Structure 1
């Protein structure tokens, strides 16, 4: 007679815990998702709140600063301006003498013409031209002659020109003397030298009444 095996003595399998079942795992993932999203929302909301509060604080302080600047009292110009001290220096009386221009400062060695300057009229290109305000500087055998030129109509041709009388011969020194007379150019001298420049200033000073 065959014996039917009995299953009563077989050990029973224990059921799986809920967190190992598929729906348990899905529940855990869902809960974790909501928790993570909630944390992110909380952090984002806090940052927005901080920025908004800082903006409101700045907006609130701006009018106060403007008000403070507006309410600052301005100084009264009538009271803050210091009185100007009265001048105790008396003004010097105006001089009645005319200042001498630099061009009219006479050279200390100038002398009035003694007739020597008349030699210039004999070498002028225009026979109707004459000289005026002649001045001389004598330096050994040399005589520096300065004079203005007037044409035949009485018009000033030049204010001052300079010649050099050396060994009985007249030489032209200034450009006007070369242009208006037949005198040759003086060698080794120019209007930048002291004596020709000095006699030229004397003629100018004489024409200006100095």
Structure 2
């Protein structure tokens, strides 16, 4: 694609506009031709993966609403436990929430735990979530197992955050 740009030197412009010599010729202009090659941008969508070793986060993962993470956290049987790295995948009327559980001193208790929220009620899914919270078991109630690809995906996203991948 050929684009032509006309460039007027600032000095020439000033001389032309402010010249008191009525018999002088207008200041010369400088013409510059610039060729801009078309930009070709290729994007490859990130592949969804449940394998954190690949270092690719599932594109469905988004930061979880802090209010939702706080609500899930209210189910802990040990009030000193907290959640960080809240991540979510929304799938229809289900929200898969993954987070890192920290103990009272801020040390990592579990790298990634997963809950499912349906109709504003959290259900525990991963081992750490089932053992540390009072929320109903998602496997028995919702029929969703820890091996479900959405569970694995949100878990992988949280693991990727904690490992810096």
Normalising by structure 1, report the TM-score. Answer: 0.50
Task: Give the paired residue count.
Answer: 111
**Partners of 2:98 and 2:114 within 8 A in 1:** yes
* Structure 1 partner of 2:63: 112
Match of 1:143 among 83, 90, 95: 95
User: 1:108: how far off?
Assistant: 1.7
More helix as a share of residues:
1
After TM superposition, list the pairs within 5 Å mapping 1:144-159 onto structure 2.
Answer: 144-159=96-111
Shift of 1:103: 6.4
Structure number with higher relative contact order (C-alpha < 8 Å, ≥ 6 residues apart): 2
Q: Is contact 1:104-1:205 (8 Å) kept?
A: yes
Which ranges of structure 1 fall in alignment gaps of 5 or more residues?
1-99
Q: Are residue 189 (structure 1) and residue 158 (structure 2) matched? A: no
RMSD: 1.6
Alignment of 1:10-25 (within 5 A): none
- Of 137, 151, 157, which aligns to 1:202? 157
Moved over 3 A (4+): none
Question: 1 CA distance for matches of 2:137 and 2:57?
Answer: 25
Q: Which has the larger radius of gyration?
A: 1
Which residue of 2 is the match for residue 162 of structure 1?
Answer: 114
Question: Which residue does the alignment assign to 1:176?
Answer: 128
The structure richer in strand per residue is 2
Aligned partners of 1:110, 1:203: CA distance in 2, in Å? Answer: 9
* Structure 1 contact 149–157 (Cα < 8 Å) conserved: yes
Contact 1:104–1:208 (CA under 8 A) maintained in structure 2: no
Distance 1:167 1:101, change over 3 A: closer
The unaligned stretches of length 5 or more in structure 2 are 1-50
TM-score by length of 2: 0.63
Within 2, Cα distance between the matches of 1:101 and 1:192? Answer: 15
- Contact 1:162-1:174 within 8 A present in 2 as well: yes
CA distance in 1, matches of 2:126, 2:54: 16
